[in-house]
Structure 1
Amino acid sequence: MRLNELLGRSVLDRDGQRIGGVADVRLVQDGPLPAGGSQAALRVDGLIVVERQVTQLFGYERHVGPALLRALVHSRLGEVWYLPWADIARIGHDTVELSTHRGNLQPLEQQPRH
């Protein structure tokens, strides 16, 4: 599976309720060193999910930038969550299913920046 195939997929919580769509994939460069390489490999750390409308993110979904612009972005996107890869139970044909409930999701703005 290619990472771009995850973008736009509906995300369902443990109860099968739709919580939003995949807007981005977070990668971390802490994997093994490839043979003859000098940089660590990338691994998928988690997904960024928006409640209302999957769109390209520009960083304003966090507490960054002018307050008015952030408010406009949040009014369009709704809630924005970070889903650790460990919380993903299954990737279906058109959906990503979680092993947790909506109430346990972590807002993206509370996550440390990498």
Structure 2
Amino acid sequence: MRLNELLGRSVLDRQGERIGGVADVRLVQDGPLPAGGSQAALRVDGLIVVERHVTQLFGYERHVGPALLRAIVQSRLGEVWYLPWADIARITEEAVELSSARTELRPLAELARY
């Protein structure tokens, strides 16, 4: 599966209810070193899911940009969550299915900033 196949895909909680769509993928560079390479490989750490209007985020869903623009974007997106890869039960042709309930999801704003 390619990463772009995840973008826009519906996300269902463990009860099968739609909570939103995949807006972005978070990668972490801590994988094994490739033969002859000097940088660690990338691995998928989790997904960023928005409740409504899956679109490119440009950081406005967090603490980037003018306050008015952030407020407009946030009102359009609805809730924005970070889903660790470990919380994904399975990926089907139609959706990403979670092993957790909507009430257990972690808001993206709580993710440590690097």
TM-score w.r.t. length of structure 2: 0.98
Post-superposition Cα deviations, 1:23-57, rounded to whole Å, max 9, x if no partner, equal 00000000000000000000000000000110001
Q: Find the counterpart in structure 2 of residue 73 from structure 1.
A: 73
Give the superposition deviation at 1:113. 2.2
Give the superposition deviation at 1:72. 0.2
Q: Distance between the aligned counterparts of 1:104 and 1:68, measured in 2?
A: 29
| Superposition misfits of 4+ residues, deviation over 2 angstroms | none
Post-superposition Cα deviations, 1:40-77, rounded to whole Å, max 9, x if no partner, equal 00000000000011000110100222211111001110
* Aligned amino acid, residue 55 of structure 2: T
Q: Distance between the aligned counterparts of 1:7 and 1:64, measured in 2?
A: 22
Q: Find the counterpart in structure 2 of residue 87 from structure 1.
A: 87
Q: How does 1:1-114 map to 2 (within 5 A)?
A: 1-114=1-114
Q: Distance between the aligned counterparts of 2:70 and 2:85, measured in 1?
A: 26
Among the aligned pairs, what percent are the same residue? 83
Could you tell me which runs of 5 or more consecutive residues in structure 2 were left unpaired when the two chains were aligned.
Answer: none
Could you tell me which runs of 5 or more consecutive residues in structure 1 were left unpaired when the two chains were aligned.
Answer: none
TM-score w.r.t. length of structure 1: 0.98
SS in 2 for 1:37: coil
Count of matched residue positions in the alignment of Structure 1 and Structure 2: 114
